[in-house]
Amino acid sequence: NAGVTQTPKFQVLKTGQSMTLQCAQDMNHEYMSWYRQDPGMGLRLIHYSVGAGITDQGEVPNGYNVSRSTTEDFPLRLLSAAPSQTSVYFCASRTGVGGYTFGSGTRLTVV
């Protein structure tokens, strides 16, 4: 049981490049979310999913796409990277009334 696995752990992108941040969980959790955290700030919700095939926007969705074709995977796509997207990205999952299990994060720098 690996929990929530995020890859890559570190990434440097050039402005305008696209990439996908991977997130996988092996706990059969129905809820999954993507957050970003900037220095000295709290978590901001980007997108979330309440089950396979269902996604919705959080508070800062612009510039990001998600899909949830399986229960296990919830990738986050950056369409055209911008310096403002430099951040630490966390994926998380939960089930029922349980708390969120977070991944270890992806540290993204856009230059």
Binding residues for another protein (CB under 8 A)? 31, 33, 35, 42-43, 45, 48, 50, 56, 58-59, 90, 92, 94, 96-105
Name the residue nearer to another protein (CB basis): 2 or 99: 99
Phi then psi for residue 97, to 5 deg, are -95, 5
Distance CA(96)–CA(74), nearest Å, equals 18
Q: Least separation, in Å, of the C-beta of 60 and another protein?
A: 10
Name the residue nearer to another protein (CB basis): 26 or 56: 56
Name the residue nearer to another protein (CB basis): 17 or 101: 101
Q: Least separation, in Å, of the C-beta of 90 and another protein?
A: 5
Is residue 66 within 8 Å of 75, Cβ to Cβ? yes
Contacts for 100 with CB less than 8 Å, ≥ 6 apart? 31, 33, 92, 93, 94
